[in-house]
């Protein structure tokens, strides 16, 4: 009987020891690994979300341009604000509410961005800024009746003086010097390119500057060069 009790107590102690779970150190290691993964993954995910919202904002700019074109064909002028492009509160569409945009866009907020349409002497302008900079977006956009889209990497509204979306900015400083020299470097002997093709790559004013010295020789300098040549021959 005593042996049975001893065996039962031994088995119970083994069960308790086996179901004791993780230690505090093990839990801290797991939590640290999870935090490291989040620190790496969350910024990338936020960047992708902002890029997706900005792509959506660019699509909405195109939608506004199409609505403005339809508004012009119907009423002979551009809409002065988003309300004139949106749906009417009641009744049939008209100049005050042409029903060319959905209500979600005509209210001026969509996809984490704020849209504004204003009238200008030459047509209209569209301004798009993120609701929360560096959270819903990192760029603001500007466009007008020319359909060009300008971007600005700032929380401030973009203007027509900002770079056009997709345009390559001109290099500056040492990069500009290297680009200039590489673009106008004469062809090497045996490289397969001709001097004519190299001159065609230069702009007209630069081409004139390159060719000018050969055409700028005066008749007196030519006579002087020939006289020097005659004197050399006499010496020989």
Q: In the prediction, which pLDDT does 173 show?
A: 56
Tokens of 18: 């086996």
Residue 106 has pLDDT above 80, yes or no: yes
Average pLDDT over residues 157-162: 94
Q: In the prediction, which pLDDT does 155 show?
A: 85
Residues 176 and 147 in one domain: no
- The percent of residues above 90 in pLDDT, for the chain, comes to 42
Is the residue at 96 inside a domain?
Answer: yes
Average pLDDT over residues 170-184: 52
Residues 70 and 141 in one domain: yes
User: Which comes out higher in pLDDT, residue 78 or 18?
Assistant: 78
Q: In the prediction, which pLDDT does 180 show?
A: 53
Domain that residue 206 falls in: 170-216
Which run of H or E residues covers position 149?
A: strand 149-152
- The answer to whether the Cα torsion of 82, 121, 78, 136 is positive or negative is negative
Residues 178 and 123 in one domain: no
Q: In the prediction, which pLDDT does 166 show?
A: 80
Is the residue at 160 inside a domain?
Answer: no
Q: Which residues contact 85 (CB under 8 A, 6 or more apart)?
A: 64, 67, 68, 71, 79, 98, 100, 101, 106, 117
Is the residue at 37 inside a domain?
Answer: no
Residues 63 and 135 in one domain: yes
Q: Is 129 in a helix, a strand, or coil? A: strand
Is the residue at 14 inside a domain?
Answer: no
Give the Cα separation of 53 and 111 in Å (integer).
Answer: 6
Q: Which residues contact 134 (CB under 8 A, 6 or more apart)?
A: 50
Q: In the prediction, which pLDDT does 24 show?
A: 82
pLDDT category of residue 139 using cuts at 50, 70 and 90: very high
User: Which comes out higher in pLDDT, residue 195 or 158?
Assistant: 158
Q: Report the chain's mean pLDDT, rounded to a whole number.
A: 76
Share in percent of the chain as helix, strand, coil (round to 5): 55, 15, 35
User: Which comes out higher in pLDDT, residue 139 or 27?
Assistant: 139
Instruction: Domain count for the chain, please give it.
Output: 2
Q: In the prediction, which pLDDT does 216 show?
A: 41
- Return the closest-CA partner of residue 85 out of 66, 65, 71, 104: 71
Q: In the prediction, which pLDDT does 93 show?
A: 92
Residues 180 and 142 in one domain: no
- Return the closest-CA partner of residue 128 out of 139, 118, 114, 117: 114
Give the Cα separation of 64 and 170 in Å (integer).
Answer: 30
Give the Cα separation of 49 and 167 in Å (integer).
Answer: 23
Residue 18 has pLDDT above 70, yes or no: no
């Amino acid at each position: 009987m005593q042996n049975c009790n001893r065996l039962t107590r031994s088995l119970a102690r083994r069960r308790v020891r086996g179901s004791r779970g993780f230690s505090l150190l093990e839990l801290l290691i797991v939590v640290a690994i999870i935090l490291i993964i989040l620190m790496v993954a969350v910024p990338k995910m936020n960047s992708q979300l902002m890029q997706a919202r900005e792509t959506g904002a660019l699509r909405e700019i195109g939608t506004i341009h199409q609505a403005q074109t339809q508004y012009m064909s119907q009423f002979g002028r551009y809409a002065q604000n988003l309300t004139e492009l949106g749906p009417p509160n009641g009744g049939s569409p008209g100049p005050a509410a042409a029903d060319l945009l959905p209500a979600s866009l005509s209210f001026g907020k969509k996809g984490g961005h704020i849209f504004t349409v204003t009238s200008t002497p030459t047509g209209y302008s569209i301004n798009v800024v993120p609701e929360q900079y560096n959270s819903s977006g990192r760029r603001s956009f500007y466009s007008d009746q020319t359909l060009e889209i300008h971007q600005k990497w700032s929380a401030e509204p973009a203007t027509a003086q900002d770079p056009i979306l997709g345009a390559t900015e001109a290099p500056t400083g040492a990069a500009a010097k290297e680009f200039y020299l590489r673009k106008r470097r004469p062809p090497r002997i045996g490289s397969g390119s001709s001097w004519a093709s190299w001159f065609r790559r230069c702009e007209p004013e630069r081409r004139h500057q390159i060719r000018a010295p050969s055409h700028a020789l005066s008749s007196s300098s030519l006579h002087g060069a020939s006289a020097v040549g005659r004197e050399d021959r006499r010496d020989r």
